[in-house]
Each structure stands twice: as structure tokens, then as C-alpha cells.
Chains A and B, each alone.
Chain A
Amino acid sequence: MDDKEIKIDPLKQDENNLGFNPADYFCGERPKAVTPVANKIVRKFYNWAQANSLWILAFGTGCGSIELPPLYTARYDVSRFGIFPRPTPRQAGVFIISGYLSVKTLKRVIRSYEQMQNPKFVLGLGSCTVNGGMYFDSYNTINRLDYYLPVDVYIAGCMPRPEALIAGFNELKRLIKEGKAEGANKYADNFDWYKANQKKIIKDWDLPEYNW
């Protein structure tokens, strides 16, 4: 081989004709809303099952992620409730946005959130996700999380203790059992609005439209 460096931009059609096809790696399909099962008994069973196996994505975005280790370990032992940390977005069902979220992290968060499988839920932890908290006038942190991702439950406080987090999980469980935790469907329905908001602040957008 010669020393020529070959750069591949995964989002563009290959100019050097090296046999790289973006369609093999990225799907152009948009997300679709999932309609609940029509049969009431089956639907209730599904909701009950979903509410009792909430697997958290181990992704700490801000100072709130320090509340998660005591949650998993012996003192608060959240696995009693069927809640469990998972290392990859493909295996996780709950995304905890733990505290302030900078624009650089938001890019990674969107990518991880879209890679998660349905059913998926978002928990906003701390005041920063509600209205910016003490970072409301920062040049680099977002103010309102619900403009970029659909939030199912907010846990207010700065910082909320692990007990508050457990209370938030109980609230999320209640919503799921009642069939009201429709965050992923909301994201699919208002996809263009969410994308427009995300692209407004992520100025060097180099992601695919939707990361499957």
C-alpha cells in the first residue's frame, strides 16, 4: 500500500469507491410509535413486567452520577426493586440524566438514547434538568431537558438523595403500570421538533438523523 491516508466520512457516500456503503451501517428509517397491545389483560401483564425490570444505563452526565453508586451498593441496594445497572445502551431501558448536561455531552446522550431499545424511559435527576438549576446562565449547559429528550419523571433537588431517586423510580413504576410512560412514543411523534431543537445547539452536527 502507498502512504496515502484514506479518510472515510461515515455519513457521506464514498467518493473513492472503496466499497463502503453508509446504508450498511446507518438506517435512514425514522422512529415509529409503538401502539400498546389491544388486549387489556395482556397489556397489563406487559406493563407489570416492564415496571419490574428497569435496567439503568450506566451513563453519568453530571454531579448526580455520584448518587448512583450508593444506590447500587449495600446501603440502598436498589436491585431489591428490579433495578439494575447495565453497561451498554442496547441492554438498558432507563436513562438517568444525572444533573447538568453540557452541549458536548448532549450529543453523546442523544446517541445513546436513540440506541436504546423500546420500551425506554428518561429520568431527569436534579434541578439542572428542570430549569438549568444553578447553571441557568451558563454558556455551555442546557436549561430544559424536555426540549431535547422526552422526560418521564423529574426528581427535583440539588442534589436529590438516593431515597429521592428511589421515590422517583416508584413514580416511574406507577406510570408504567398505568400505561402513561409514553416518552419514547412522544419522541417518535414529535421527532422533527426534537431534532430541530437538538440541531439548534449542536452546531457541528455529525450524527445520522437517527441512531438505530
Chain B
Amino acid sequence: MEEILKRLDERFYVREKKQQRPNLLFVTVDKKVAVEAVTYLRDYEGFRHLVMISAVDYIEQNLFQLTYLLHNYQLHSDIGVRVFIDREHPVMDSIHHLWAAAQVYQREIKEMFGIDFPGSPRVDEPMILEGWDNIPPMRKDFDTKKYAEETYFPREGRFTLDPIKQMEKKNYPLEAEVKYEIKRVVRDNRDKK
């Protein structure tokens, strides 16, 4: 893995690296060279299997992170190629010409995060969310609970019975009320800041 990382760094300038296990390495490369780096790993280093493409929404940094996880059958090792793309213009180059299976991942990411992959087959067609007219549901600024309550007729009377809280309220009603009121105030003010 050390030599692979060295060769990769020489060609494509690895911005960040993280060796999670002896056989699992994560590298961060620039968006411009990401597809080239993935192609190089596939064709020259033997990472022939695309395990998955995943996306993370880093709303605080205004970035999306894509991870291409590749597997090498000879070395029994994985490399995750990470790319950061701008959240305002979420467009990434498609890799469906390298693995046909990438089409499905890219369709799903397009649907769930709104990251576009121009040229990927059927990427604009709905896959799971037929007729979705809101912002993509896996983005952090999408309030899932609020949407579900507005759309799906929630049934009245959902509540939890936590045994500890229940017994506290039963045996020490006054103390429990004060305790949970203090907890509530602390929690509300912590989130405000």
C-alpha cells in the first residue's frame, strides 16, 4: 500500500491520506484528477472492483464528499478515493464507462443528493422517488420529520415509555419535574448559541 500511495501521489497529488487498516486506505484528490486517479488505480494497480460510490453532505463547509471505494483481488485491499465538490454547483464526472455498475450508484446519488453526473445513462429518470418535487431528501437541510408529518397523516398518540423516566416520575414527581426542566433548558440553550 505504501508504494501504491507513493506512485499515486507522484501522479495525482494526494491532498490527504488516512490509513484506516493495513489493507484500507483513504486518499483525497482534487476533483479534476479524480476520474483519472480511479482509472489509473483500475488499470495499473489492479483495483478492478468498484465496491461502491457514497456521498456525504458537509453542509457546514458547503461541500459534498464523494467516496469511490475500490477493491484489489490480488492484494485483498481497498482504496477509497475521496473527492470534495462544491455544494452550490454539484456536478461530477461520470465513471459509467469504467464500470457499468456505477450507473446505478450515480442515479441514486443524483436522486438522494442532487449531484449531477452528465452523460451517465438514465441519470435523470426517477429511480425510487417517483415524482419527487422537494429538495433531495438525503441533504442535511431537508427536514425529514417535518416533511413526514406534513405529508403522511401521522397517527395521534405516539409516545415512549422509558422505564427510568417513568419510575422517576412516579416515585419522585417534584424532583423529576425539576430535573427534566433543567435538562430541557440546558439543551435548548446549547443548540441556540
Across the interface, do A104 and B128 meet the contact criterion of CB distance under 8 Å? yes
A202 CB, min distance to chain B CBs, angstroms: 7
Chain A residues lying within 8 Å of B133, measured Cβ to Cβ, are 203
**Partner among B126, B147, B154 whose Cβ is within 8 Å of the Cβ of A131:** B154
Query: With an 8 A cutoff between CB atoms, is B23 at the interface?
Result: no
Interface size on B, residues (CB 8 A): 20
Residue from A137, A141, A201 having most chain B Cβ neighbours under 10 A: A137
Instruction: Report the nearest B residue to A140, measured CB to CB.
Output: B129
Bound CA–CA A58/B153 (angstroms): 28
Query: With an 8 A cutoff between CB atoms, is B142 at the interface?
Result: yes
Instruction: Report the nearest B residue to A142, measured CB to CB.
Output: B152
Mark A86-117 against chain B: 1 for CB-CB distance below 8 A, else 0. 00000000000000001110010000000000
B131 CB, min distance to chain A CBs, angstroms: 3
The SS class assigned to the A binding surface is loop
Across the interface, do A139 and B155 meet the contact criterion of CB distance under 8 Å? no
Q: A131-B155, A144-B155, A147-B153 are in contact. Are A103 and B148 (CB under 8 A)?
A: no
Chain A residues lying within 8 Å of B153, measured Cβ to Cβ, are 142-144, 147, 197
B174 CB, min distance to chain A CBs, angstroms: 33
Query: With an 8 A cutoff between CB atoms, is B44 at the interface?
Result: no
Bound CA–CA A154/B158 (angstroms): 17
Within 8 A of B (CB), among A135-163: 136-144, 147
Query: With an 8 A cutoff between CB atoms, is B137 at the interface?
Result: yes
Bound CA–CA A204/B126 (angstroms): 11
Query: With an 8 A cutoff between CB atoms, is B151 at the interface?
Result: yes
Bound CA–CA A144/B137 (angstroms): 21
Chain B residues lying within 8 Å of A131, measured Cβ to Cβ, are 154-155, 158
Query: With an 8 A cutoff between CB atoms, is A132 at the interface?
Result: yes
Interface size on A, as a range, is 20 to 34
Bound CA–CA A140/B151 (angstroms): 10
Across the interface, do B131 and A204 meet the contact criterion of CB distance under 8 Å? yes
Q: A203-B131, A203-B132, A204-B131 are in contact. Are A140 and B158 (CB under 8 A)?
A: no
Instruction: Report the nearest A residue to B154, measured CB to CB.
Output: A143
Bound CA–CA A30/B153 (angstroms): 25
Across the interface, do B147 and A136 meet the contact criterion of CB distance under 8 Å? no
Chain A residues lying within 8 Å of B158, measured Cβ to Cβ, are 131, 136
B154 CB, min distance to chain A CBs, angstroms: 5
Chain B residues lying within 8 Å of A107, measured Cβ to Cβ, are 130
Q: A137-B144, A137-B145 are in contact. Are A143 and B152 (CB under 8 A)?
A: yes
Bound CA–CA A132/B148 (angstroms): 10
Residue from A102, A136, A147 having most chain B Cβ neighbours under 10 A: A136
**Partner among B129, B151, B154 whose Cβ is within 8 Å of the Cβ of A104:** B129
Query: With an 8 A cutoff between CB atoms, is A165 at the interface?
Result: no
Bound CA–CA A141/B149 (angstroms): 11
Across the interface, do A140 and B131 meet the contact criterion of CB distance under 8 Å? no
Q: A132-B155, A143-B153 are in contact. Are A104 and B144 (CB under 8 A)?
A: no
Across the interface, do B132 and A144 meet the contact criterion of CB distance under 8 Å? no
Chain A interface (Cβ < 8 Å from any Cβ of B): 102-104, 107, 130-132, 136-144, 147, 197, 200-205
* Leading 3 A-B pairs by shortest Cβ distance: A204-B131, A203-B131, A131-B155
The contact sample of 8 A-B pairs, CB cut-off 8 A, is A131-B154, A132-B148, A137-B145, A143-B152, A143-B155, A201-B151, A203-B132, A204-B126
Query: A130-B155, A140-B137 known; 8 other A-B pairs, CB under 8 Å?
Result: A103-B130, A137-B144, A139-B144, A139-B147, A139-B148, A142-B153, A143-B154, A204-B130
